[in-house]
A and B are shown apart, each in its own frame.
Chain A
């Protein structure tokens, strides 16, 4: 099926094409094409994403115990999520139905460290330039260096928060990037008393600064509610994982979905049945699939995942400061679910605060120094693992033969869940800001801002932050290039 503005109605020959390629300051490679008609009216908007289905093929035939380390290479920015989702799937394969307290807590610490560093990176390094300096501010200054110059304190906190998250990852996974800490059935290391103390030293400061970040984004919303509440806004379902008591848990739980009005569609669904819940639609114009909730069908069943969905999907957040922040956030929506793309930033900072509080609580737990690391039980042939990655729900699904080699792999990453949401956000923005107007740097950047709010990890390609070149091509009705702009 096709959504409004997904496929042009006019004859393609009479349309003008605007391509934004690649989108700068998102992780990976994406391309936006906007087809205009002769009068400069938006006819078709599509977000093309380079997908990485290749991984599912080349892990086939590999021994299963390699997976948690191998699949991290999917992403240069949230490798820990893949590391843990694969480990959780393999826990089931090796029959480890209940991990030791040490293993469970080490993995949680690793995961919340990852949430912290990724959310800090996204907010401070990637998005704060747009939000603090303005969408139309000078391009050469609209980056983390520009923020350092104008708001040195904020930039410094952002950098140190991220560093702390990376340190948590290093001490739980063995390396800051691409560690090996989580293994099928548990972990391969625990903390020493000295490491736990060292990490505890900075925990309180991390909570305080995360609280400041929530305050900052809340203020930005208050300054320009029209923009923040409505930019890239469109109603949709939400999906995410919640704990058994309905509270927010990013490491383990069951699936819950709500409709655009906040009514529960399903709750406490075992994630191992995800393939009955979700259908992945293939479209001819992109390699990336479009998942939707099977019960609602492709037209009404698409959904958002990630911070905005999670914070509104749960009943409460189990840490006090983040719960307070969640209530403030909901109060802002005055009883209605919020769908604005920029609401993701606020929700993301609430989650960062939740991660910071969770990290401190975990670090007070001596189980982190335990020596019982791995368990195993009866072997299974199939396992599904789910985790709430920084960008949203992440599924890893494997089948393993009796010879220990992987026979089937299926991954659904957050960016794929959000595919339709991002397309809708871009269409929304294009309709509002581009329709019939001249194409300016600021207008094009708004499209990027809408995409970036979902923090997409567009491919496993890593690149220098903020340095991805932007190419804008203007094509006339016959497909000839009229103009082409680059920025570095």
Chain B
């Protein structure tokens, strides 16, 4: 394998057709991301994975790896941009980490820690988004949705059910459930669906699990996100 590029000065090999993100992940290098998942087609919506290639911004999850690329990833300047994106996500939804069962397992929270986000900086929107608790096994907590569309992709491409979709535009974008009533109970969604286990935040939750996992044993308790990156895997599942 002669094909390689430079990521923050390190040589990263790649095979033809791989994106910068895929090649970096395969080499065990962390490029911050929220909407990317190795099992699904890239989406390119969260912009967390922005890198600079030859001075120009690109999203690592969508840009193809090419021989001789010089990719800037974890510089203070780029992490500062990522911090701003995270702050916007935090104020757009209602993310109350202290009482959220996903705390310690949440990709948004872990990424915010890793990017050194200390305050929300912007004014909170405090949107009013009622929960959907209609399904006997799964709870939808829309307040925490970051619109990554992983559930949309999983339900459509893996489960072949098309339970979720995004509706509205811009600031009005929101996740909806594809049923006449709009309620999850009125779909053929099942707790065993791939879509039930793919949400990076605490928006799609198996019911009655809550805080069963003790502090110390949660995903990001032993190591922060990005520090435990096994080649080819994603650590949030």
Interface residues of A (CB under 8 A from B): 61, 63, 65-66, 68-70, 73, 94, 174-175, 178-181, 183-184, 188-189, 374, 403-405
Contact = CB atoms under 8 A, between A and B. Distances in A.
A65 B211 contact: yes
A189 B208 CA distance: 17
Given A66-B99, A66-B101, A403-B133, A183 B210 contact: yes
Interface of B: 98-99, 101, 130-131, 133-134, 139, 205, 207-216
A68 B211 contact: yes
Contacts of A405: 131, 133
A63 B101 CA distance: 11
Given A179-B215, A403-B134, A184 B210 contact: yes
Contacts of A73: 98-99
Contacts of A184: 210
A70 B139 contact: no
Contacts of A61: 130-131
- Chain B at the A interface: SS class: loop
Nearest to A405: B133
Given A403-B134, A404-B133, A405-B131, A180 B215 contact: yes
Contacts of A70: 98-99
A65 B101 contact: yes
9 contacts: A61-B131, A63-B205, A65-B101, A178-B98, A179-B215, A183-B211, A188-B212, A403-B134, A404-B133
Nearest to B217: A189
A178 B215 CA distance: 11
B68 to A, nearest CB: 49
Nearest to A184: B210
Contacts of B130: 61
B215 A174 contact: yes
Contacts of B211: 65, 68-69, 180, 183, 188
Given A180-B215, A181-B214, A188-B213, A404 B208 contact: yes
Contacts of B99: 66, 69-70, 73
Given A73-B99, A404-B207, A405-B133, A63 B139 contact: yes
Contacts of A374: 212
A188 B214 contact: yes
Nearest to B210: A65
Given A188-B212, A188-B214, 20 more contacts: A63-B133, A63-B205, A63-B207, A65-B208, A69-B98, A69-B99, A69-B101, A69-B211, A70-B98, A70-B99, A73-B99, A174-B216, A180-B214, A183-B210, A184-B210, A188-B211, A188-B213, A374-B212, A403-B134, A405-B131
